[in-house]
Amino acid sequence: MMRRRYRIMKDESCISCLRCARECSFGAIEAADGKGLVFHHQECTDCQRCVSFCPVGAIYITEDGNRFRRNAVFGEDDIQQIHLQAETGGVLLSSMGAPGSSVPIYFDRILLNASQVTNPSIDPLREPMETSVFLGQRPERILRGSEGRLVDNLPPHLELSTPIMFSAMSYGAISLNVHKALAAAAEELGTYWNTGEGGLHESLYPYKGNTIVQVASGRFGVHGTYLNTAAAIEVKIGQGAKPGIGGHLTGAKIIGDVSKTRMVPEGLDAISPAPHHDIYSIEDLAQLVMSIKEATDYSKPVMVKAAAVHNIAPIASGIARSGADIISIDGYRGGTGAAPLRIRDNVGIPIELAIASVDQRLREERIRDRVSIIASGGIRNSADAVKAIALGADAVSIGTAALCALGCHICASCHTGRCAWGIATQDPDLTRRLDPGKGAARLVNLVNAWTREIKEIMGGMGINSIEALRGNRMALRGVGLNEKELGILGIGYAGE
Amino acid sequence: MKKEGEIRISSGCAISGIFCRDGRRIPGEAIRKSIAVMHSRSNGLGGGFAAYGIYPQYRDFFALHIFYDSQSSREETERFLDSHFDIINLSKIPTRPTPRIQDAPLIWRYFVQPLPHMLQDSQLDEDEYTSRAVIRINDSIEGSYVVSCGKDMGVFKAVGYPEDVADFYRIEEYEGYSWTAHGRYPTNTPGWWAGAHPFSLLDLTVAHNGEISSYDANRRAVEMYGYSCNLLTDTEVIAYMLDYLTRKQGLTLRECSEVIAAPFWSTISMKGEEERARLSYLRKMFSSFLVTGPFSILVGFRGGMMALNDRLKLRSLVAAEKGSTVYFSSEEAAIRIIEEDPDRIWAPRGGEAVIVTLGREAG
């Protein structure tokens, strides 16, 4: 007996238009001849596609009422997973970010400051409120030329009009239409999107100025033109959802343009090794960073992305000294298209703690001003972004939130390849559900809305430029945190 | 209750400055009179003065003004000074009993120069050598606090209203070509002498009115470069930033003003190409040093003074000129009381530094 997690329900207002059956890509709703709708509850992922498209609001999804005998140690999920593994002998797969309800979301335990009396708050509608961020290396000293004039000795920088960019998500894991939407939105917003490790589809070459291309362990789709069709290049060492683990895109998805873009033969599994096989140590990373700079004529910043793991602070320090211009740190709650469940839920540390300790460590080593830091992994709203920046990040990067703007409801079934929203799938019948133009408009709306909120929050604190927020931990206070947590975050307790 | 340095305390304030471009040395009476007008901008929890040109007979030596909580902290500090400097002269700073100034620490003055062999071994220049020694005293000798350590200059400060502080230190007996004054209105402090302003490092002094919202970003940036912000005040962090930018990075004060009160990107975009590139460079290079929130500051340095407002001009600041004398103040009244009929009186715009130096016009 298959386990039913959800129950598909409908009320009397149903007009039997069968729209729900057409929308369901998981085979949970069937339009049986003459019998109307048949529900296969066990197939339902609660992706909410049917609910969103029901013209009369007749259909809804509930948790299945059946439950296992309560046990404080072995929960229902634990028992289910044991049953499944006993049946299959396999590694459990999952997708999106760790739900990890027992791991604190520190963002929710941090409160922001505002000006009162001694210092005026600033109204963003009346006064300029600056959100532009420049990411890249800074030299240690200024340089003066003839007649004492300042010489611009800054290496190339990325310029963002808002401290929000889009996280790496590969073509293959997500559809080309999603890439199109991200690229167009990034261009309109004056920020950047990231190809992930699956290469860059040729139709997206015109978005070069807002594209970050990724070089990951599988080196899929990496060639000279690729490296030079970008504003920056990211070396991906790890990902928050699956630190220490490579990737596996099944041959079923390596079809047509995905195969061509990835430079992997059709039908062949695309396996990204766990490590880069040319990086077994930090000095190897430095060589790769420099090789990429050589290949791109030192005209673009090189980023290094690593997962937030226990010793992320010294790792970041090593990356900062490798010649990398920007460090991207992806936290425990970062999403993925597919990852072993045990890895996703048990490996890595929350981004809040990681950013705080990395920022502090780089300051202690006096190299914080030399590099820029991007935080990602569970940024849900503008307040999370503000908190991440006040903890020490230069900018944040959003993946899951961007996909939600495109329709995703985080049913965490990406690894099935059946995404009903046309996001995490290559099935042409499904991918066409996402209109790249409309998708881009929604992404633009989302980021603009967050940017407005960030301005509002900054103005309340009397800060009118985002750089004055960076690492400004006095703007933060904790609630429900212990001394150790406050110490790592480098913040006081509320009321202190 | 925590004292300054253990907790960050915000404060409003009054500032005033007089600068004689012709190098004429004027007694402290004028600056006392000016700052006294703004009595109501202070609350008796801090006042102070910085004066330049007051020690011509010792102009080549570092003048250390030091507060001690006890004789033992004095002895420990003097042992440290003995092992790092030649002490040319030492004395108590003369004071007069003033009923409204209480709980005075021991206040000493030393004229010193670095021990030549120590200086050579350190491979530092004498400014860096001295500033490190001062930071070390403030950081690690309990009950000992160096108030100022520049050449031919000094800071006189206390808990009290500025005019009482002036009387206490017999400020009218000193003659200087440059004077700044500060009256403090902290929102919450038990009153600590070292927490009064101006704040100083080497020849640089800062008197500041405001509460900067970028404080912790700036503090954490400047602490990266070896400074230690013991007082947790805006003034201290601004002084360290200016010291870092001028002495260690080699920026001019004008360039410093373009870093800490940087023009908005929208303003920069309207400049000509060369200026746009220069201003963008400064903002990108020193983004951690941008100061936001209200401030007006008077920066004293050897041979000059800079007045600067935050870029939105959220604090008052007035400037005036009469002949070769330049005046700055939080309020026009504080200038009129000492110069009834200035040639020119104006309010500098937000973010626009007014820098005056010996023998030069104001601009």
Chain B residues within 8 A of A119 when measuring between CB atoms = 10, 210-211, 213, 293-294
Model confidence band, residue B229 (pLDDT cutoffs 50, 70, 90): confident
pLDDT at B10: 58
> Nearest C-alpha of chain B: how many angstroms from A352?
17
Say if B62 falls within a structural domain. Answer: no
> For testing the chain A interface, which of B1, B211, B216 should be mutated: the one with the most A CBs within 10 Å?
B216
Q: What is the pLDDT of residues B156-210, one digit of tens each?
A: 999 999 999 999 999 999 999 999 999 987 765 556 888 888 999 999 999 998 8
Contact yes or no for A233/A292 (Cβ under 8 A): yes
Chain B residues within 8 A of A120 when measuring between CB atoms = 294, 314
Say if B141 falls within a structural domain. Answer: no
pLDDT at B7: 66
Mark yes or no for CB contact A118/B11 under 8 Å.
yes
pLDDT at A216: 94
Domain holding A20, by residue range, is 6-90
Q: What is the pLDDT of residues B274-313, one digit of tens each?
A: 999 999 999 999 999 999 999 999 999 999 999 999 999 9
Residue of B214, B266, B281 with shortest CB distance to A150: B281
> In this model, does residue B359 exceed pLDDT 90?
no
Say if A116 falls within a structural domain. Answer: no
Q: Kindly report the average pLDDT of chain B as a whole number.
A: 92
A323: tokens are 């010649």
> In this model, does residue B140 exceed pLDDT 80?
yes
Q: Which residue in chain B is spatially nearest to A364 when comparing CA positions?
A: B224
pLDDT at A119: 83
Q: What is the pLDDT of residues B332-349, one digit of tens each?
A: 999 999 999 999 999 999
A419: tokens are 């995404």
One domain, residues A61 and A173:
no
> In this model, does residue B266 exceed pLDDT 70?
yes
Mark yes or no for CB contact B217/A118 under 8 Å.
no
Total number of domains constituting chain A: 2
B37: tokens are 């007008």
Residue of A118, A471, A474 with shortest CB distance to B187: A118
Mark yes or no for CB contact A465/B10 under 8 Å.
no
Kindly write down the DSSP assignment for every residue of B236-276, as one continuous string.
Answer: HHHHHHHHIIIIIT---HHHHHHHHTPPPHHHHTTS-HHHH
The per-residue pLDDT string of chain A (496 residues; one tens digit each, 9 = 90 and over) reads 457 899 999 999 999 999 999 999 999 999 988 778 999 999 999 999 999 999 999 999 999 999 899 999 999 999 999 999 999 999 998 888 888 778 999 999 999 999 998 888 999 999 999 999 999 999 999 999 988 999 999 999 999 999 999 999 999 999 999 999 999 999 999 999 999 999 999 999 999 999 999 999 999 999 999 999 999 999 999 999 999 998 888 888 888 999 999 999 998 988 889 999 999 988 899 999 999 999 999 999 999 999 999 999 999 999 999 999 999 999 999 999 889 999 999 999 999 999 999 999 999 999 999 999 999 999 999 999 999 999 999 999 999 999 999 999 999 999 899 999 999 999 999 999 999 999 999 999 999 999 999 999 999 999 999 999 999 999 999 999 999 999 999 999 999 8
> Hey, how many other C-beta atoms are within 10 angstroms of the C-beta on A432?
11
Mark yes or no for CB contact B281/A154 under 8 Å.
yes
Cα within 13 Å of Cα(A377), Cβ side: 34
Overall average pLDDT of the B133-150 stretch: 93
> In this model, does residue B8 exceed pLDDT 70?
no
pLDDT at B211: 85
CATH number of residue B207's parent domain:
3.60.20.10
> Hey, how many other C-beta atoms are within 10 angstroms of the C-beta on A63?
11
pLDDT at A101: 75
> Nearest C-alpha of chain A: how many angstroms from B265?
8
Mark yes or no for CB contact A468/B225 under 8 Å.
no
> Hey, how many other C-beta atoms are within 10 angstroms of the C-beta on A370?
16
One domain, residues A142 and A79:
no
One domain, residues A26 and A171:
no
Closest CA to A368 of B220, B248, B251, B249: B220
pLDDT at B5: 61
pLDDT at A266: 92
State yes or no: cis peptide before A314, omega within 30 of 0.
Answer: no
Residue of B210, B281, B312 with shortest CB distance to A127: B312
Kindly write down the DSSP assignment for every residue of A61-80, as one continuous string.
Answer: EEE-S--PPP-SSS-HHHHH
Mark yes or no for CB contact A474/B294 under 8 Å.
no
Mark yes or no for CB contact B251/A144 under 8 Å.
no
Say if A395 falls within a structural domain. Answer: yes
Domain holding B35, by residue range, is 11-54+152-357
Q: Which residue in chain A is spatially nearest to B255 when comparing CA positions?
A: A150
Residues on A contacting B at a C-beta cutoff of 8 Å: 115, 117-120, 122, 127-128, 130, 132, 134, 138-139, 141-142, 144, 149-150, 152, 154, 157, 363, 366, 368-369, 461-465, 467-475
Say if A370 falls within a structural domain. Answer: yes
CA gap A236, A217 in Å, rounded: 7
Contact yes or no for B38/B318 (Cβ under 8 A): no
Contact yes or no for B203/B50 (Cβ under 8 A): no
pLDDT at B363: 46
Residue A10's SS3 state is: strand
Say if B109 falls within a structural domain. Answer: no
Evaluate whether ipTM surpasses 0.85: yes
Say if B235 falls within a structural domain. Answer: yes
Model confidence band, residue B362 (pLDDT cutoffs 50, 70, 90): very low
Say if B327 falls within a structural domain. Answer: yes
Mark yes or no for CB contact B294/A119 under 8 Å.
yes
Sequence-ordered alpha helix ranges (H) in B62-177: 71-84, 116-122, 126-140, 162-168
Model confidence band, residue B12 (pLDDT cutoffs 50, 70, 90): low
Q: How far is CA A46 from the centre of its chain?
A: 22
Mark yes or no for CB contact B211/A474 under 8 Å.
no
CATH number of residue A243's parent domain:
3.20.20.70
Total number of domains constituting chain B: 1
Summarize chain A as % helix, strand, coil (round to 5): 35, 15, 45
Beta bridge partners of B309: B296
Say if B204 falls within a structural domain. Answer: yes
Say if B71 falls within a structural domain. Answer: no
CATH number of residue A58's parent domain:
3.30.70.20
CA gap B94, B87 in Å, rounded: 19
> Nearest C-alpha of chain B: how many angstroms from A240?
27
**Catalytic site residue from B13, B20, B229, B256:** B13
Is B229 tagged catalytic?
A: no
Contact yes or no for B111/B148 (Cβ under 8 A): no
Say if A350 falls within a structural domain. Answer: yes
Residues on B contacting A at a C-beta cutoff of 8 Å: 8, 10-12, 187, 210-211, 213-218, 220-221, 223-225, 249-251, 255, 262, 264-266, 277-278, 281-282, 284-285, 287-288, 290-294, 311-312, 314
Q: What is the pLDDT of residues B88-133, one digit of tens each?
A: 999 999 999 999 998 999 999 999 999 999 999 999 999 999 999 9
Q: Which residues, other chains included, contact A20 with Cβ-Cβ below 8 Å and sequence gap of 6+?
A: A29, A37, A50, A53, A54, A59
pLDDT at A328: 98
Strands A372-376 and A326-330: parallel
Say if B87 falls within a structural domain. Answer: no
Chain B residues within 8 A of A372 when measuring between CB atoms = none
Residue of B216, B284, B314 with shortest CB distance to A472: B216
Chain B residues within 8 A of A464 when measuring between CB atoms = 292, 311-312
